[in-house]
Amino acid sequence: MTAFGFPTETILIFFGVIASSVYLDLFAHRKTTEISVKDASFWSIFWIGLALAFYGYLWARFDQGYANLYLAGYVLEKSLSIDNLMVFVAIFASFGITGKLQHRILYWGIIGALIFRAIFVVIGTSLFTVSPYVGFLFAGFVIWSGYKMLSSNSDSEEEIEDYSNHWSVRFTGKLIPVLPKLYAERFFVKHSELSPENIALVTRKGLRYATPAFLCLMAIETSDVAFAFDSVPAVIAVTQEPLLVYAAMIFAILGLRSLYFILAALTKYLVHLEKAVIALLFFIGIKMGIQSWNHAFGDSGIHISANTSLFIVLGTLAIGVLASFIFPERENNEKI
């Protein structure tokens, strides 16, 4: 299969769909007070349908192989994002932020994710083309990510981290004075708008103060950047085509805001899904190691096709979901 490259038609369609969809979801709904599970479910179906429509376009216009590479990357990014959304839950809890303010912070967090993913994909795919040995580094990184998740998952007594003292929050506090209490839904507030009681609370005097909502946004953005270090190599392990990698990630990320509100309600039921994600990371790391060996030292005789990767990714996640409903008691009893 030849390189996919950057077909002009595909670029125009992809960015046209993304631009119109971002306007529809982010801007047209920017004044939504609070997202319900029902509304979040509707938008999640919309984003999944849009991603599948792009899959159909790739299959019909180009080749089933390219389409399957994209879909495998999309499903993998979507499944890996579950762990990141759990971090979001902890971050919001640390700052005491609920309801409509969560919606607004995620609104800006998604925009930041679009930018950072583009940077990471360009760097990641460029490094991969420099030398076949870079693939071994990426494979090790993905396997290490799986090991970290496995170690964290086995420690049931671990306390939830307090993100109100996260390094990004402390760094932001050094750059701009902070009002350590929420002020409506605003990220910043002017000194002239504060009452004497609020002025007495600020960390230091200034013309403008950051509120906990902005500090929460900084924690969200930095955690997403850290998450990208895990997810980008994993998706690149599936396909090294930059456009397909970016498309898979963006379609997955655009549905994160809606998925967050669903996952926050269902996380206690999907108790074995994280184990499935861990298994996928080990599989992807091994797959990339084999691919790198074939390129660097000669054909090993082992080849994992795009179709096989797709079936393994979908099948592993399906097993994780089914196991959560068939064997829920074991995990729940461990947490009592």
| pLDDT at 60 exceeding the cut of 50 | yes
**Exposed (0-12), middle (13-18) or buried (19+): which is 186, by Cβ within 10 Å?**
middle
AA letter at 250: I
Question: Strand, helix or coil at 293?
Answer: helix
Kindly state whether residue 274 falls inside one of the protein's structural domains.
Answer: yes
Give tens-digit pLDDT for 146-197: 777 777 655 544 444 567 777 888 888 889 999 888 887 788 999 888 888 8
Residues 6+ apart with CB under 8 A from 173: 203, 210, 215
| pLDDT at 255 exceeding the cut of 80 | no
**Whole domain around residue 74: which residue ranges?**
9-162+228-334
* Statement: the pTM of the whole predicted model exceeds 0.85: no
Give tens-digit pLDDT for 185-241: 788 999 888 888 888 888 888 889 999 889 999 988 888 777 777 677 777 777 778
What pLDDT, on the 0 to 100 scale, is given for residue 335? 45
Kindly state whether residue 196 falls inside one of the protein's structural domains.
Answer: no
What pLDDT, on the 0 to 100 scale, is given for residue 35? 62
Contact 273, 328 (CB under 8 A): no
Kindly state whether residue 291 falls inside one of the protein's structural domains.
Answer: yes
Q: What six digits make up the tokens of 326?
A: 């068939």
Distance from C-alpha of 113 to C-alpha of 106, rounded to nearest angstrom:
10
Kindly state whether residue 302 falls inside one of the protein's structural domains.
Answer: yes
Place of tokens 């592993």: 316
Mean pLDDT of 8-16: 89
Give tens-digit pLDDT for 36-51: 667 777 878 888 898 9
What pLDDT, on the 0 to 100 scale, is given for residue 306? 62
Kindly state whether residue 138 falls inside one of the protein's structural domains.
Answer: yes
Mean model confidence pLDDT for the chain: 77
CA 252 remoteness from chain centre: 8
- Distances in Å between the Cα of 179 and the Cα atoms of 18, 173, 203 are 36, 10, 7
Distance from C-alpha of 292 to C-alpha of 282, rounded to nearest angstrom:
15
Name the more confident of 247 and 102.
Answer: 247
Give tens-digit pLDDT for 66-113: 888 888 888 878 777 766 676 777 788 788 887 677 777 877 887 787
Q: What six digits make up the tokens of 285?
A: 């790391």
Question: Strand, helix or coil at 189?
Answer: strand
Kindly state whether residue 173 falls inside one of the protein's structural domains.
Answer: no
Kindly state whether residue 114 falls inside one of the protein's structural domains.
Answer: yes
Give tens-digit pLDDT for 271-309: 677 788 788 778 877 877 787 787 677 777 777 776 677
Mean pLDDT of 46-60: 90
DSSP state of 43: H
Distance from C-alpha of 247 to C-alpha of 70, rounded to nearest angstrom:
7
Q: What six digits make up the tokens of 267?
A: 């996380």
188 bridge partner residues: 210
Please count the structural domains in the chain: 1
Please count the other Cβ atoms lying within 10 Å of the Cβ belonging to residue 150. Answer: 15
Kindly state whether residue 154 falls inside one of the protein's structural domains.
Answer: yes
